[in-house]
Amino acid sequence: MFKKFKNDKYASIAFYAFVVICLTVLLVFTILNVNEIWDYVLSLIGAAAAFIYGFVIAYICNPIYKRLYTYVFPFVEKKKSRPKLRKTLSLILTYIIFFGVIAILVFSLIPSIKDNFNTLAGNIETYITNLQENITEFFEDFSINIPIFDTDDLVDAIEGLLYDENGKLIIFKYLGPTAGAIINIGTNIVQHLVYFLIGLVLSVYFLMYKNSLIAKVRKLFCSLFSKKTYNNLADFIAYTDKTFGRYLMGAILDSMLVGTLVVVVLSIFQFKFAALIGVLVGLTNVIPFFGPFLGGIPSALIILIADGPFKMLLFIIIIVVLQQIDGNIINPHIVGATTGLTPLGVIAAVTVCSHVLGFVGMVIGVPLCAVLSYIVAQVVNKRLKKKNLAYDSELYKRPDVLNNEEFIKASLEVEAQNILEAEEEKAREIAEADEHTKALREIQAHLEYVKTHPEEFVTEITVPEVTEDDDEDDDDYLDDF
């Protein structure tokens, strides 16, 4: 029926016209209802928040787990096969390390950050006065006269913004609407905390049964796609895993190292808020390109208020030097190879993804766009190769690209390669068909022999005794794709 439909010229035209109309209607509907559709997508993401948290935690812990299972606990199975014990020990130590790192960071930094905040808030007026004096002295040294503002006037101006003519806080006028927003924010925080705890439990199961889950996904893909499509999909998943995993884990380690270096260096030079500034610089360093600015500018303002303009200039010099060391030495060794995006692509990725996904988008924007760029590059190269055209980007920089000798030569090489690959594929198909036919004949002959000689294959059936140590599950915890 479908072959007849395909060979019918007018039926094919009608079918494609119907598909185009449906896609157009769907596109118009999406454009007109983009906000509602996006809200629905966010609601679906919220409903799956616990599983997302669990997957992210398991994804972060997986490299630790694999190394423990491979290098630390192989002695468990030297004398006797004990996969469950080896797996259990690896999981326990993995989460001990995971929570140990978090506990060290939290309990070592939070008290210092709290003290820094309290000091900054309690002495803000003194810092402003000192800032006034420091700026005055700085400009007087260079014989520059500037108008001096009065600290009392500044305090009065701030109080005028906070209090009305009766001396009551203006904030109470907006307490009703604000209270509802605060309650919603608090509810969301508690809800996501619950999701995180559930996700923590789910992450254990994700790690424990990851090979079973991966096997089921592979089985599903094999049932849906051809061998060629499956191999392409497996390569894409492997590339995505490598891009996201190496980039995100490397960026986190790099940011922790940069933040620690900032705290140490500022402490050596006796800056007042070293811990607070180190955490701020470290957190924002996860964000490509914009991170140093987002962390450096507010940190410089804090130092200007607390320590004066000279230490602010010293801080700027320190940050510039550390960023150069990080960008040229630390980051390449930790994060590894670049994502392939140009600086313009990095800026666009961070800008667009931050608008859509907020802070998370700023963090994952670069690897996400790198994966999308990889998909586009694969599609473009495949189409060029199909047309016997060169797919080296350097050859397309000339305006007369199609008439350029180097381009023509490269295109001829692509065409020759396509012919060679087609011949090799045809020969491989013939060889596989012969092997397949031979195997089928051997199996058929064996079945015929079994039917005619059943007495040779009938043996006494015995049920082996299963012990706890011998009962291995199907998770051998080999590497993924």
- For residue 304, tell me if it sits in a domain: no
Contact between 80 and 467 under an 8 Å Cβ cutoff? The reply is no
Q: DSSP states of 325-340 as a string?
A: HIIIIIHHHHT-S--S
- For residue 416, tell me if it sits in a domain: yes
- For residue 407, tell me if it sits in a domain: yes
Tokens 């990725």 belong to 349
- For residue 442, tell me if it sits in a domain: yes
Main-chain phi, psi angles of 187, to 5 degrees: -60, -45
Closest by alpha carbon to 105, among 247, 250, 263?
A: 263
- For residue 403, tell me if it sits in a domain: yes
Contact between 208 and 91 under an 8 Å Cβ cutoff? The reply is yes
What's the pLDDT tens digit per position in 293-341?
888 888 888 888 777 778 888 999 998 888 888 877 777 766 655 566 7
Taking residues 172-201, report their average pLDDT: 69
Confidence of residue 94 (pLDDT cuts 50, 70, 90): very high
For residue 403, the enclosing domain spans 394-450
pTM for this model (two decimals):
0.64
- For residue 446, tell me if it sits in a domain: yes
What's the pLDDT tens digit per position in 397-412?
877 778 788 888 888 8
Length of the chain: 481
Give me the number of domains the chain comprises. 1
- For residue 419, tell me if it sits in a domain: yes
Is pLDDT above 50 for 196?
A: yes
Taking residues 256-269, report their average pLDDT: 88
- For residue 111, tell me if it sits in a domain: no
